[in-house]
Amino acid sequence: MAPLRLGILGSGRGSNFLAISKHIQEADLNAEIAIVLSDKPSVMLEKAHELGLKNEFVDPKRFASRERFDEALVSRLLAAKVDLVVLAGYMRIVSDIFINAFPRHILNIHPSLLPLFKGLHPQQQALDAGVKESGCSVHWVTSELDSGPIVLQKSVPVLPDDTEQSLSARILVEEHTLYSQAISLIAKEMESR
Ligand code: GRF
């Protein structure tokens, strides 16, 4: 079966992108990274460049509105012929223009057990709520933030002396496996359609 073509969008350090890339290199995941886009001149783009992947910083300031910016992203993703859009630490809310261009073909990973702790600082929200376990969720992106159908989840314990940093680090380890597992699952589903 042909490898699934991924378009990856991020804003920062890109550890989930690197984990996906590693799983592809190790043949754990039958996919290829067709393009990496960022709304910031990020570490993620530097890593994509080092890996010889097509990548681009698309500066939101060059566009009159969020919609025009999203159109620019969509045109790049379409030109790269992506099968699946993968948000990996992408810190912008995508508009309906973006969502409608790839219906049920945009994934996100969020560091909580959704539907709990949507939005910013979910790990701190988990600590503030006093829960004994948290985790991460891979879900489809819809127009409501962090609310689309869940593909896979993984839980981790919250320890009594946890800080936002220590809990984030424990969750991130699981994110790095869960995202590729979810993409793999979707690749198989798409193949059998
Ligand atoms: C991850 O915790 C992810 O769940 C969240 O943003 C963070 C991105 O980290 N959406 P990285 O850029 O993949 O290292």
Q: Measured from the CA of 88, which atom of ligand 1 is nearest?
A: 13
pTM of the predicted model as reported, rounded to 2 decimal places? 0.97
What distance in angstroms lies between residue 175's CA and the mean position of ligand 1's atoms? 8
Q: Measured from the CA of 87, which atom of ligand 1 is nearest?
A: 10
pLDDT of residue 190: 87
**pLDDT average per 10 residues of sequence, the chain (193 residues):** 95 97 97 98 96 98 97 98 98 96 97 98 98 98 96 98 98 98 95 82
pLDDT of residue 191: 84
Integer distance in angstroms from the first to the last C-alpha of the chain? 13
pLDDT of residue 179: 98
pLDDT of residue 193: 79
pLDDT of residue 20: 98
Using CA atoms, how far apart are residues 183 and 31, in angstroms rounded to an integer? Answer: 8
Using CA atoms, how far apart are residues 22 and 138, in angstroms rounded to an integer? Answer: 18
pLDDT of residue 192: 84
Domains of the chain: 4-192 (3.40.50.170)
